[in-house]
Amino acid sequence: MTNNDFLRRLRYALNIKDNIMVQIFKKGNITVTKEDVLDYLKKDIDEGFKKLTNNDLISFLDGLIIQKRGKREDGTPPPKIKITKNNLNNILLRKLRIALAFKSYDMIRIFKLGGIEISEGELSALFRSEDHKNYKECGDKYIRVFLKGLIEYCRN
């Protein structure tokens, strides 16, 4: 799943308007225009499509955390995370959980709404550090199912 695809689905699930998306990017320390946001939301075959980088997507989610929960009490910026191809989905899922203030049972319910039964142990493995022996990589399928469940959860 591409970053643009993720952003499109998340925007639909949370019903975020274009001008709010610009504000969220700004809170994540990324300056974009409404036109940039519209270009990010286009399909990759459409004219004017603009590819969303991993760092920009992470910054958007940091902005979403600030939008939904407020700034950190100590005022420090979020810690920089080393992003690899293998851990990006885990980071996205973790940041969504923080932004939306979900507990384990919320996450399990959303996965179930999306069509996958996941245990609490499997869920916690997705949030462990990469060097932990029980770490589990979050594949694109899990992200797709989670976003599908999130759409069901938020829109119905």
What average pLDDT score do residues 85-90 get?
Answer: 89
75 contact partners, CB below 8 Å, separation of at least 6: none
Q: Is the pLDDT of residue 77 over 80?
A: no
Q: Is the pLDDT of residue 147 over 80?
A: yes
User: Cβ-count burial of 1 within 10 angstroms (0-12 exposed, 13-18 middle, 19+ buried)?
Assistant: middle
pLDDT tens by residue, 16-74: 999 999 999 999 999 999 999 999 999 999 999 999 999 999 999 999 999 999 888 88
Gap between the terminal Cα atoms of the chain: 24
Q: Exposure string (b/e) for 26-65, b if CB count within 10 Å is 16 or more?
A: ebbebebeeebbebbbeeeeeeeebebeeebbbbbbbbbb
Q: Is the pLDDT of residue 125 over 80?
A: yes
pTM of the model: 0.91
Q: What is the pLDDT of residue 52?
A: 96
SS3 content of the chain, % helix, strand, coil (to 5): 60, 0, 40
CA–CA gap between residue 43 and residue 35 (Å, rounded): 14
DSSP letter at 72 equals: -
Residue that is written with structure tokens 């869920």 in the block? 123
CA–CA gap between residue 35 and residue 120 (Å, rounded): 41
Question: To the nearest whole number, what is the mean pLDDT of the chain?
Answer: 94
Give me the residue spans of the domains in the chain: 1-67, 85-153
What average pLDDT score do residues 117-127 get?
Answer: 96
